[in-house]
A and B are shown apart, each in its own frame.
Chain A
Amino acid sequence: MADKPRIKLPKEAKKGEIIQIKTLVSHLMESGQRKDAQGKPIPRKIINKFTCEFNGKPVFSCVLEPAISANPYIQFDARIDEEGTFKFAWTDDDGSVVTAEEKIALKA
């Protein structure tokens, strides 16, 4: 399964500021189109869903298909109205979920 995801976001933001969040998770994203040396199709195994929540409220999510490159990189924005915690989750085809958390504080 995937390694620890890499997430980049500022440590603090002004109230109402829109910040950019960059995420990258290591995953082969096997498309199901490729064949092995014996000519047998390699079964599909991808991250099919990504979600981001802030203090329990949905911020951004996406459904991914095999047409997403290996080691899926997702960049999006979030508006910060209060301090709190971002929760990120990547769901694999095999049902496993990789999660990560990041805190953000309000700038005085």
Chain B
Amino acid sequence: MRKGVFILLLLVSYFTLCVETKDVDDYIIFTTRDYQLHLYKTKGTFDFLVKDKDGIFHPIHKAEGESPWFGYNGPRGEVSSSRNPIGEIKMKRWREGYLVSILVPLEQGVFWDGEFYISDDYLVVRSLIKSEARSGISIVRLAPRFEVDIALFNRYLFSLPGQIVEGKVEELGRPGYAGVLGWGGPKSYGSLDPSVPFFALYNPELQVGFLFLYPFYDKLWKGKHIFLQLWEGGINYFYAGWGDENDLGKETVFVITPLKIFSPDEIKRNVEKLNKEIEELVRSGGLPLEFITRLLEIEGKLRKYWEISEKLLKEKLTRMDDLSEEEIKMFSDMLFKYQVLLLCSERSFEEGDYETALRYSEKMLKLLGINDAEKMIK
């Protein structure tokens, strides 16, 4: 009985997918309930179009300006996916819609590897710049940069821990910045709120807008630069997320979604919900992002190691008063070593070097007399 209901539900959900596709010359059009996505077959870029109150679609990038691109700055300037032909493109169904995989060669031995999970309500993009370590690389664009029509998207809104920042784009001045780790003021801050990590651009009068959401912010996006830039010569860029040369070879994920409501508080509430929903979808395997599930698995293991070692150490600390002078000396030596290893383990984890973080935590446990950490947590 239960199995029957499940199959029925699956069938219903499959046939009720609203995503429509249409193949035109240069690109494939995906039309969903609230947005349209044009994925180019010839170059590594896309158009994301959102509806206004009259049902008219507007691209999120300035129509005559630079469209979204991935890549980096190399010694000879910008290396951009939109200036390179696509190496490979594959499309298949995904439980919420379609999944399109794209590979764009950027330079000798460097590729942008992207996956677009297209669903009715949002677009999830997994992004990776595949490369060996290279020198002279900067501004690694894990999420795209594109030009924004600030006459159309005339307000910005983003989160900070405990609050939101909003305002009129034109009031930023020129050069002017709004977001996280911009190259200047007046609205440049250190971090988005990890529980509501988003940046939105919109027009409340025309009721049109979009936002970028950064799930697993603490693990994937902390320290990355996400900002709107009003630059010289009337150029306005949205930097959806960039890092440094250490981000070459690192996978990440972000979400683009159209805005349907335009009150900052309501946007924040909806984003919080959506963020939870997407993170849960990844955790449950519904959104098959293996690099995140692997990361979560290591994090779980690490936290267990940290927890066990802390408990063991606390037990030892309570017995400290009974120790002799000599024992105290030995213990303080061990305690210092332990604290350094814990710090190294945590720092490596923050830097995304999970294997090293595990190695340090195993060393910590060894110091406390546990030689097989894996066995211990089982």
Q: Is B a genuine binding partner of A?
A: no
Residue positions of A touching B, CB distance < 8 A:
none
